[in-house]
């Protein structure tokens, strides 16, 4: 007896929620390249330069070792394409951050792009009702990071208020609290550099200590909606993800 075929077949083309067909992987890459090139005109020269440099090095090595340039051409093309894609990915990320720069919640979007090492709170931990200045927080083995989106006096007051709240709940002086201000001034961290900056902070806590800190912070967490004007949802205090993809 023949085995019964599966009744469910994978769709050839996935569709979005609005019913339109999602673009293919290659088309998405083209769209990312076009958008990144519009924002940063050095994208194409860097990619071409990386490709040519890789081919030149490959040909030189192949000629010296094998007395033939052909292996070096193919090897150089493969390595060059890989390096060019890495350059595109880095510049595309920076272009995306430049698009959302200055928007409320941009720091949260940058923090959430960190793949590992930090547990990022989904909502702001401090909100000023009038100006809607917000603070965002993350915890991990490097301690606790509290991030302000500017260096205004109000944001600095919110930073100090959150620091006192954390110290009151933790009751443990050995847990470092990193106060980070996003901006382009002295002592500030540029938005596109925020994920890298946080990732490089030295880890001082064990996994068990980090888990205990997270539990303590959960006790500190309270509903921000009580301090936010009506009609403002703190869970939406983040830029549109489509804006980061250039759509």
Of all residues in the chain, the percent with pLDDT exceeding 90 is 38
Give per-residue pLDDT as tens, 136-184.
999 999 999 999 999 999 999 999 999 988 888 886 668 999 999 999 8
State the burial class of residue 142 (Cβ atoms within 10 Å of its Cβ: 0-12, 13-18, 19+). buried
Q: How confident is the model at residue 21 (pLDDT cuts 50, 70, 90)?
A: low
Percent of the chain predicted with pLDDT > 70: 79
- 105 and 244 in contact (C-beta within 8 Å)? no
Phi, psi of 214 (to 5 degrees): -60, -40
Per-residue pLDDT tens digits for 112-136: 888 888 999 888 898 888 888 899 9
Q: What stretch of H or E contains 148?
A: strand 143-148
Residue whose structure tokens are 């208020």: 161
Query: Among candidates 123, 172, 104, which has minimal Cα distance to 144?
Result: 172
In the predicted model, is pLDDT for residue 31 greater than 90?
no
User: Checking DSSP bridges between strand 118-120 and strand 126-127, what pairing results, if any?
Assistant: unpaired
Residue 36 clears pLDDT 80, i.e. is over it: yes
Place of tokens 């339109």: 20
Q: What is the dihedral of CA 222, 226, 228, 230, to 10 degrees?
A: 140
In sequence order, the β-bridge partners of residue 189 are: 182
pLDDT in tens, 213-233: 888 888 776 534 444 444 444
- Cα separation, 74 vs 66, whole angstroms: 14
Cα separations (Å) of 99 from 33, 40, 93, 238? 15, 12, 10, 13
Tokens of residue 130, six digits: 């009038």
pLDDT of residue 39: 80
Nearest to 118 by CA among 132, 103, 105, 107: 107
Q: Name the more confident of 190 and 220.
A: 190
pTM: 0.66
67-109 pLDDT, tens digit per residue, is 888 888 999 999 999 999 999 988 888 888 878 787 888 899 8
CB 43 within 8 A of CB 36: yes
Q: For tokens 């921000």, name the residue.
A: 224
Residue found under tokens 């064990």? 206
What element of type H or E holds 62? helix 43-66
């Amino acid at each position: 007896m023949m085995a019964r075929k599966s009744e469910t077949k994978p769709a050839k083309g996935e569709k979005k929620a609005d019913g339109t067909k999602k673009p293919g992987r290659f088309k998405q890459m083209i769209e990312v390249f076009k958008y990144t090139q519009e924002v940063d005109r050095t994208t194409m020269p860097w990619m071409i330069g990386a490709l040519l440099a890789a081919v030149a090095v490959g040909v030189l090595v192949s000629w010296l070792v094998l007395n033939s340039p052909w292996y070096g051409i193919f090897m150089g093309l493969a390595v060059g394409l890989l390096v060019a894609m890495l350059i595109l990915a880095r510049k595309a990320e920076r272009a995306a951050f430049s698009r959302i720069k200055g928007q409320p919640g941009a720091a949260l979007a940058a923090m959430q792009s960190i793949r590992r090492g930090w547990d990022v709170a989904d909502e702001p931990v401090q909100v000023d009702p009038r100006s809607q200045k917000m603070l965002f927080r993350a915890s991990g083995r490097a301690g606790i990071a509290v991030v302000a989106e500017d260096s205004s006096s109000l944001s600095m007051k919110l930073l100090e208020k959150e620091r006192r709240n954390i110290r009151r709940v933790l009751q443990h002086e050995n847990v470092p609290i990193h106060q980070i201000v996003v901006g382009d001034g002295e002592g500030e961290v540029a938005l596109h550099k925020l994920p890298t900056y946080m990732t490089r902070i030295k880890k001082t806590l064990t996994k068990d200590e980090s888990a205990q800190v997270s539990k303590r912070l959960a006790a500190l967490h309270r509903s921000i909606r009580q301090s936010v004007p009506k009609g403002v949802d703190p869970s939406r205090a983040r830029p549109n993800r489509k804006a980061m993809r250039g759509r």
